[in-house]
Amino acid sequence: MAEINRAVKGTNDILPDSSAKYTFIESKMLETASLYGFREIRVPTFEHTEVFVKNVGDTTDIVQKEMYTFTDKGGRSITLRPELTAGTVRSVIEHGLVNGALPVKVCYLGGCYRYEKPQAGRLREFHQFGVECFGAASPAADAEIICLAKQSLNEIGINDISLEINSIGCPDCRNEYGKALKRYFEKNIDKLCDTCKDRLNRNPMRILDCKNPECKEIAKDAPTVLDYLCDDCAEHFDGVKKHLDAAGVKYTVNPRIVRGLDYYTKTVFEFVSGDIGAQSTVCGGGRYDGLVKSMGGPDIPALGFAMGIERLMLTLQNTNAPFPEEDKCDLYIATLGDNAQKEATKICTALRSDGYEAGFDICNRGLKAQMKYADKIGALYTMVLGDNEIASGEAKLKCMENGEETTVKLSELSDTLFELKCKSVF
The string of pLDDT tens digits covering residues 104-120 is 999 999 999 999 887 76
At 250 the pLDDT is 97
All CATH 3.40.50.800 domain ranges in the chain, comma separated:
331-420
Which of the four pLDDT bands, split at 50, 70 and 90, describes residue 425?
very low
DSSP single-letter state for residue 156: T
All CATH 3.30.930.10 domain ranges in the chain, comma separated:
3-170+230-318
At 262 the pLDDT is 67
Mean pLDDT computed over every residue of the chain: 91
Classify domain 331-420 at the CATH topology level: Rossmann fold (3.40.50)
pLDDT, one tens digit per residue, over 86-104 is 999 999 999 999 999 999 9
Half-sphere exposure of 357 (CA within 13 A, CB side): 12
The number of residues making up the chain comes to: 426
pLDDT at position 395 over 50? yes
pLDDT, one tens digit per residue, over 122-181 is 789 999 999 999 999 999 999 999 999 999 999 999 998 999 999 999 989 888 888 888
pLDDT, one tens digit per residue, over 334-358 is 999 999 999 999 999 999 999 999 9
Question: Of 25, 339, 10, nearest to 157 (Cα)?
Answer: 25
What pTM does this model have? 0.87
At 257 the pLDDT is 85
* Cα 14 from Cα 240, distance rounded (Å): 39
pLDDT at position 279 over 70? no
CATH 3.30.930.10 fits 3-170+230-318, yes or no: yes
At 59 the pLDDT is 61
Local structure of 376: helix, strand or coil: helix
DSSP single-letter state for residue 325: P
